[in-house]
Structure 1
């Protein structure tokens, strides 16, 4: 039990604290799902998990609401596991430690999991409440959304009975989302050739302190990608010091595909005076710090001596890898012509690893248009061909096509306007929501997405705005209470 249980609405924050106490990173949500299913059954609710592990709970309508259309509240069970380099935390075994910081709730050195833990907690709070008015209710909790929407992809057809769905994965107060981008994973690899390490000096370049963030929501903000910055330095250094012979023993960065990498590392091995490399690092740091003064005020680039590795990449491979990742596109590819202010197509280099036989990167492609996804596939394929690398694509999920006139959108807009004292914004988001996949399986279902203000999701700076949670709760419960009766 943490201090956040003192916040209002009490039932929502009690459940969020419970969610934080049970480890639930992607692929390790079963313990949380089983806990919730057991609790639901003790309350007398229908609770079942499908073949993909998704959990569905049903609660009968409150008295007098039986003739309303059924509503499904939807959230995902997993969270993005990101920790600061100096934070000792095992996301598979250690609880999240939330704390109150003024008007915000944050976590100690890790992602908070407000994405989508607040939405999850709100759905459980509605189930737990005994005094809320609501229609026939379903709560759908999906598996492994953050690592590829695997639960939504495998959702059992003909399982849900609701006519309307409220997705709870939006992260901005005052906004209603009615559409989102689709996405796809790209796996880029380049084969390694090793040689014995005959170099005298070994130093690790450490790039850290970046803001990171959500690779969909934050892709247009100008935040730096640590992997790209590291490759930029190495390419710049090689071009400015062609006589300086060096190789790499390792290059790595990022930890999850859908977060902008905050940290990256490379081990340089060489014979020349280390002062040459140290001076180049300091000059690069000064130049980039000025360039990114607003976007990345805490940028840190440093060198540390390390033990001599037994082997290094051959010189040709080291240069090929450096130039490949320096040239690789990253960020906004195109803005939308039809939805002003929204990114149409982007890609983000999320993870870079050195393995025994290859260097491998995981890249997330997003687009509102299938043609945008196809273009980025072609772009990466061409770059891979030029670089002697390989690329494969997987986990494609559809976007969510917006519709401006549905009964749940009209009701949500009406209730929200009364709470806010002004019209809410109706928006399409560049991030991926499960709504597109859910709509594909249940095409007749009307869907909207709402949620409180969450900033810096997918990073250890993640935090959720307490007053926005209160507004979101009023909105959610108001929609349920005012769901109109079925028409003949």
Structure 2
């Protein structure tokens, strides 16, 4: 599978990426890949070990003459986001990712590609394998469960890593180097809400909102993209005057992906169903106009549906829809210190309702840990008004920028020498593992860079082939520059 990848440049990197595409690795299911990499390290004669959580480290001695150079850690995460388009049959725990090249970009067929962070991992493996590169002592650190909980970084063993500098290979913009990132926290709400039986004069109506682009809930949160949960809740709010109450709801699948689809079953008086369908059709046109060309694929439909069991009673349904309608979503504040960078945001990532059991998982991000705490408190206050408890989970710190780091200076010099232009120095509104790793290893001098990836965390994910070549040459040059 994916044989065509080995014809791309640079060949060693793409050969390793092919192996990653052919090895299923959704978050929490990285064991087969770890075992494969351990066997590969043994075949290469490279030392390797794992910490108690299962994070993998592979070590490579310095090139002759560079033994006294500062040790460098190449870091990436092994897992990938598992997202597929509606109608695409794909078992992420078993099936390989099917890839194709179009107009200079590598895509996947109906699923996420796993370039995030497979290309960073592939680059580190290619460095470990290459006997012609000049470098100091190397460690390649491959973490687990980054996409779902940052679990690998949060549970990283202290006192284990030996290097003085860390190059994170998990950012996604050609020509840019990142020196800081947002911290974040999940906000989780679970509640059992009161229900009542469906009456004889009520009818079921299935409302579906599909066709949105989705995207990364950090790096794409400032883009004019639709959030399926936000939009469908707005539709439900508009149908309440017709006597609608919620039977069930399912929207979004990952808290760190902007939801592309959401579905709800409503119960309405039989004599208002026709008016509800008209309202939905009108709202489809309204939402399309508002979203414009940026997210033009939106589709909103309403079809008669059979519903079994009990639905939320009128009061509970109205209370839940109003609470969600008022919940924070999207960009809260732009940074006052870093122009063009989002300071604080929230993504209403996953919503569900079944048999009266409500679940929400949102992801709050900010450059300031205090702003994360304040946003979490807002959720707690809001959902407290309906008697539900919101709790914070999987919190992680941000990465404070160090614009005077030696590693950054080396990167900027090599970028100018190799490519003839200055690198953009950036702070990213996403949860790179650098912040967490830095809290455990505060002495580390860190940067992050990578190739150009678009649509991460969605089936539109793709990577620019030319940027991968550039990424490889930059990494090789940077390692040589830091080996002196």
Question: TM above 0.5, one fold?
Answer: yes
Q: Which residue of 1 aligns with 2:249?
A: 251
- Aligned-residue offset at 1:312: 1.4
Aligned partner of 1:123 in structure 2 is 124
Structure 2 residues not aligned, in runs of 5+: none
Report what 1:409 is aligned to. 408
User: 1:443 deviation in Å?
Assistant: 1.0
| Greater Cα offset, 288-297 or 379-388 | 379-388
Q: How does 1:380-391 map to 2 (within 5 A)?
A: 380-391=379-390
* Deviation of 1:420 (Å): 2.5
Taking the aligned partners of 1:317 and 1:142, their CA distance within structure 2 comes to 42
CA distance in 2, matches of 1:328, 1:450: 34
- Shift in Å at residue 318 of structure 1? 1.3
Any conservation in 1 of the 2:247–2:355 contact (CA below 8 Å)?
A: no
Contact 2:66 2:483 in 1 (8 A): no
2:225 matched to which residue of 1?
223
Report the CA distance between 1:483 and its aligned residue: 1.5
Counterpart in the other structure of 1:398: 397
Is 1:427 aligned to residue 426 of structure 2? yes
Verify the 8 A CA contact 1:258 1:364 in the aligned structure 2. Answer: yes
User: Does 1:290 pair with 2:266?
Assistant: no
Give CA deviations for 1:64-121 in whole Å, capped at 9, x if unaligned. Answer: 3222211110000111111111111111111111111121001010110100010011
Q: CA deviation at 1:328?
A: 0.8
Asked if 1:180 corresponds to 2:181, the answer is: yes
Distance in 2, matches of 1:473 and 1:166, equals 13
Query: Is the 1:24–1:78 Cα contact (8 Å) retained in structure 2?
Result: yes
How far has the Cα of 1:245 moved from its partner?
2.1
- Contact 2:180 2:401 (8 Å CA) reproduced: yes
User: Does the 8 A contact of 1:56 with 1:140 survive in 2?
Assistant: yes
Alpha-carbon shift at residue 61 of structure 1 (Å): 1.4
Matching of residues 168-317 of structure 1 within 5 Å: 168-198=169-199, 199-238=201-240, 242=241, 244-270=242-268, 271-317=270-316
Q: CA deviation at 1:202?
A: 1.5
Structure 1, 402-411 or 308-317: larger mean CA deviation: 308-317
Asked if residue 79 in structure 1 is aligned to residue 80 in structure 2, the reply is yes
- SS of equivalent residue, structure 2 residue 153: helix
Return the offset for 1:9. 0.3
Segments of 4+ moved more than 4 angstroms: none
**Alignment partners' CA distance in 1, 2:391 and 2:367:** 21
| SS in structure 2 of the partner of residue 25 of structure 1 | coil
How many corresponding residue pairs?
481
CA distance in 1, matches of 2:271, 2:387: 30
User: SS at the partner of 2:293?
Assistant: coil
- Distance apart, 1:200 and its partner CA: 4.1
Alignment of 1:39-50 (within 5 A): 39-50=40-51
**Is 330-339 or 311-320 further displaced after alignment?**
311-320
Aligned to 1:103: 104
The residue aligned with 2:468 is 469
Return the TM-score normalized by structure 1: 0.96
C-alpha distance in 1, partners of 2:354/2:307? 18
For structure 1, which runs of at least 5 residues remain unmatched after alignment? none
The answer on whether the counterparts of 2:178 and 2:425 sit within 8 Å (CA) in structure 1 is: yes
In structure 1, C-alpha distance between the alignment counterparts of 2:137 and 2:339, rounded to whole Å = 37
* CA–CA separation in structure 2 for the residues paired with 1:254 and 1:273: 28
1:455 aligns with 2:454: yes
Quote the offset at 1:229 in angstroms.
0.3
CA distance in 2, matches of 1:384, 1:274: 30
Paired with 2:413 and 2:380, the residues of 1 have a C-alpha distance of 47
User: Which whole-Å CA distance do the structure 2 matches of 1:137 and 1:54 have between them?
Assistant: 16
User: Residues 238-276 of structure 1, C-alpha deviation per residue, up to 9 Å, x if partnerless?
Assistant: 2xxx2x223221011000110000000000122224321
* Separation in 2, partners of 1:144, 1:357: 30
Q: How high is the TM-score relative to the length of structure 2?
A: 0.97
**Residue in structure 1 matched with residue 158 of structure 2 by the alignment:** 157
Q: Residues 52, 356 of structure 1: CA spacing in aligned structure 2 closer, same or farther, 3 A cutoff?
A: farther
Shift of 1:387: 2.7
CA drift at 1:319? 1.3
More off after superposition, 19-28 vs 270-279: 270-279
Following the alignment from structure 1 to structure 2, what is the Cα–Cα distance between the partners of residues 264 and 110? 18
Correspondence for 2:319: 320
Matched, 1:333 2:332: yes
Q: Which residue of 2 aligns with 1:132?
A: 133
Q: Which residue of 1 aligns with 2:372?
A: 373
Cα distance in 2 for partners of 1:131, 1:159 equals 28
Distance 1:357 1:285 in 2: 28
CA contact (8 A) 1:419 1:471 kept: no
Equivalent position SS for 1:294 = helix
